[in-house]
Every structure is written in C-alpha cells, then in structure tokens.
A = this chain, B = another copy of it.
Amino acid sequence: MVVDACCVTPPLLREPLTEFAAVEMAKKLKALADPVRLRLFSAIASHSGGEACVCDISGGIDVSQPTVSHHLKVLRAAGLLTSERRASWVYYAVVPEALREIAALLDLNTAALAGVTA
C-alpha cells in the first residue's frame, strides 16, 4: 500500500514542519539543488515513460561522463531516481512518490496561501 505523501507531511503553509520532516525533506531538496542535477533529473523525468539511459540524456548537458554518473548517484541516494541495468546500459527512472512528497509540501492550494495573497 502506498501512503499518500500529502497525509504524512502537511504542506509547510498549513502548519510548521516538524524537525524530522524538515531533515528528510532537506535531503531531497539538497539533491535537487544543483543546476546539472536538475537538468539530468528533468531530462529523465521528461523522457518517454519517465526513464532513460545515460546515452539518452547526457547529450545536451556539457559535463563529463564521470560527472554525470556522480550526479545520478546523488539523485539515486536521495531516493529521487531508481536505476536498473539492462545489457550494457543503466536505465534511470524517476520516483514519482518522491516528487509528490516535495510538491505536497509546497502545495499552494491551501487556506494559508489565500491569506498570503489576499
């Protein structure tokens, strides 16, 4: 059973984050908070089926292959990507639950935001 992330961590606009939730969320945000990692992640996320091998994604990003591998490892360690070897290529896929958790935290459809923007 998948637990809906919105019900585990309430949006940060609704109530103050707990220390535990903040530590967990900071790990994911830190992994995403790098321009090259954001671009690699986006290249995988927007690729057909939400998965891609390095051969598919590194073309438009001007960094070395070891650098790409390092960044993909960081994203995987943060639980944002999974990887699977098929023949001679490793395929990376986004973890939708991880993205949902961040998006739920930043959910702007709350009464609190109505107060902010009124």
A90 lies within 8 A of chain B by Cβ: no
Mark each residue of chain A from 73 to 103: 1 if its CB lies under 8 Å from any CB of chain B, else 0. 0000000000000000000011010011011
A26 to B40 alpha-carbon distance, docked (Å): 13
A30-79 residues at the B interface, CB under 8 angstroms: 30, 32-36, 38-39, 41-43, 45-46, 48-51, 60
Q: Is the CB of A39 within 8 A of B13?
A: no
Chain B nearest CB, measured from A52 CB (Å)? 10
Copies of this chain per assembly: 2
Main secondary structure of the interface of A (DSSP, over half): helix
Asked if A8 CB lies within 8 Å of chain B CBs, one says no
With A46-B13, A103-B103, A112-B46 as contacts: A19 and B39 at CB distance below 8 Å: yes
Are the C-beta atoms of B33 and A29 separated by less than 8 Å?
A: yes
